[in-house]
Amino acid sequence: MTIKPDKTKFLEHLNRATDEFIDRFFAHTITISHNDADGISCLHIIQNLLYKMHFNYDYFIYNRSVSWENFLKGIFSSRQTDKNAFIFTDVGSNLKELIPIIKNRKEIFFILDHHEVEDGIHFDELPENLFFVNPTIYGYDGLEHIAGATLTYMFAKQVNPSIIKQGWLTIIGIAGDSLKPMDKLESFNREIYEELVDEELIEDKEGLILFGSMHESIKNGLKYSILPFLNQFGGESDQKINSFLNTLHIDPKTKLVDLTESEIQLIQKKSDINSLGHYAIIPQKTGLMKFAFEHALLLNILCFKNISAAISIIQLKSITRYAKNIYSEYIQNLSANLRTLTNEIPYFETKKAIFLEVKGKIPPSNWSDTASFSAVNELFDPNKILFLGGLEKKSGTIKLSVRCSRKYLEKNKSNGINKIISNIKREFGGVGGGHKLAGGIRLSKPSYNLLKKRIDEFV
């Protein structure tokens, strides 16, 4: 069921939380944010706000690997007071876990989040020390309408309008979460984007969209674009791409963003590329970090490799050599893996699912991202659930990344990946979980074989 978003109610709710935040003076504030580009952007927006307000502050990153109870146990001080505040950004809608913890504390909690909330929560019975702001309650879609950074920016701006100057942080969260050209943004993401463009804090440009490689030459753009992944050129040899460009009399070394309109038209006419669109530029940064999508992707990659590097690099103007190497390696592996997937992997298909057995073809550490980007790019039938994985030697189990497209979710709102995984676990055992678009599960070999036979019962 789709309900029409109730903007008035949501903004009223946001106002109540900001008023509460402005009216109190907190001796100490702790921000807890998510370990991805959106979460890191939120964190920096809040840190900037607290700095402007001359508050004392600290932060922690939560990656969901432990329960909230265990995580917070390590953070809570034994001296409880309502002079201290917690701000959760992009990370805290597990209310069933959080409410009992918050109820027993004296600190004031602000939760700013855009993830779906579990069923069965009574929003008029929340603890008095909790201000819970989540637009999904008012009919907004956390994936399409409002990134965590968008919500956090709206909160911060209301508390202190001078935060607008740090508004460019928001676009990193939007780019990282939406995975879309900027002309496709909707609702609050679009409103805030336009506001930031008007304020000249970011620049909106139009051109050929080859996300992942917007900072590159056209040759590398075609080769290493991960959104869209180009069937014709992605992960192919330099020779093949150069000869294509040479026949069009385009220098392969031309910067992608310097292509003329007629060159772009020529490329489109002579290939199956069809990705014109808008992209965002962060004017005060240089190189890769000038490009919002690439900057966000860099943060997402670093969050898994080296979280401190992710948190610090967002404050830099230009990329470090260390980060640049990690980024190039990631993009090269991903485009090669997507190439392998489209060329070489035999797949098993049922009415509702596709199984890709990639053991020996794609390294296990790359399974998850390869699955995600094959779903985002709709490399396989977007109306089917994707299972990608194989035997993991050390555990002797079958490890699977499970993904669906947004198109699938639109049609099957109530049957996302998390639901499918819990149904599978109920029937076959195994361990795993996830959210609406993505998840993972480990199964014994016999269970996996049964799953392949009976998957259509679960989807």
Task: By CB under 5 A, name the binding residues for Mn ion.
Answer: 38, 90, 148, 177
Query: Closest approach of Cβ 397 to Mn ion, in Å?
Result: 30
Cβ proximity to Mn ion, 302 vs 459, nearer residue: 302
Cβ proximity to Mn ion, 147 vs 282, nearer residue: 147
Cβ proximity to Mn ion, 44 vs 223, nearer residue: 44
Q: Measure CA of the first residue to CA of the last residue in the chain; give whole Å.
A: 18
**Does residue 392 contact residue 415 with C-beta atoms inside 8 Å?**
no
**Does residue 188 contact residue 146 with C-beta atoms inside 8 Å?**
yes
Cβ proximity to Mn ion, 90 vs 107, nearer residue: 90
Query: Closest approach of Cβ 257 to Mn ion, in Å?
Result: 27
Cβ proximity to Mn ion, 113 vs 357, nearer residue: 113
Cβ proximity to Mn ion, 298 vs 379, nearer residue: 298
Cβ proximity to Mn ion, 38 vs 294, nearer residue: 38
Q: Which residue is nearest to Mn ion (CB)?
A: 38
Query: Closest approach of Cβ 149 to Mn ion, in Å?
Result: 7
Query: Closest approach of Cβ 38 to Mn ion, in Å?
Result: 3
Query: Closest approach of Cβ 369 to Mn ion, in Å?
Result: 17
Cβ proximity to Mn ion, 177 vs 294, nearer residue: 177
Say which residues have a Cβ less than 8 Å from residue 302's Cβ, sequence separation at least 6: 309, 310, 313, 323, 326
Cβ proximity to Mn ion, 177 vs 263, nearer residue: 177
Query: Closest approach of Cβ 417 to Mn ion, in Å?
Result: 16
Return the half-sphere exposure (C-beta side, CA atoms, 13 A cut-off) of residue 385: 29
Cβ proximity to Mn ion, 102 vs 175, nearer residue: 175
Query: Closest approach of Cβ 246 to Mn ion, in Å?
Result: 42
For residue 130, give the amino acid letter: L
Query: Closest approach of Cβ 74 to Mn ion, in Å?
Result: 23
Query: Closest approach of Cβ 382 to Mn ion, in Å?
Result: 22
Cβ proximity to Mn ion, 141 vs 177, nearer residue: 177
Query: Closest approach of Cβ 89 to Mn ion, in Å?
Result: 9
Residue 310: other Cβ atoms inside 10 A: 24
Query: Closest approach of Cβ 426 to Mn ion, in Å?
Result: 29
- If DSSP states are collapsed to H, E and C, what string results for the chain? CCCCCCHHHHHHHHHHHHHHHHHCCCCEEEEEEECCHHHHHHHHHHHHHHHHCCCCEEEEEECCCCCHHHHHHCCCCCCCCCCEEEEEECCCCCHHHHHHHHHCCCCEEEEECCCCCCCCCCHHHCCCCEEEECHHHHCCCCCCCCCHHHHHHHHHHHHCHHHHHHCHHHHHHHHHHHCCCHHHCCHHHHHHHHHHHHCCCCEEEEEECCECCCCCEHHHHHHHCCECCCCCCCCCCHHHHHHHHHHCCCCCCCEHHHCCHHHHHHHHHCCCCCCEEEEEECCCCCHHHHEHHHHHHHHHHHHHHCHHHHHHHCCCCCCCHHHHHHHHHHHHHHHHHHHHHHHCCCEEECCCEEEEECCCCCCHHHHHHHHHHHHHCCCCCCCCEEEEEEEECCCCEEEEEEECCHHHHHHCCCCCHHHHHHHHHHHHCCEEEECCCEEEEEECHHHHHHHHHHHHHCC
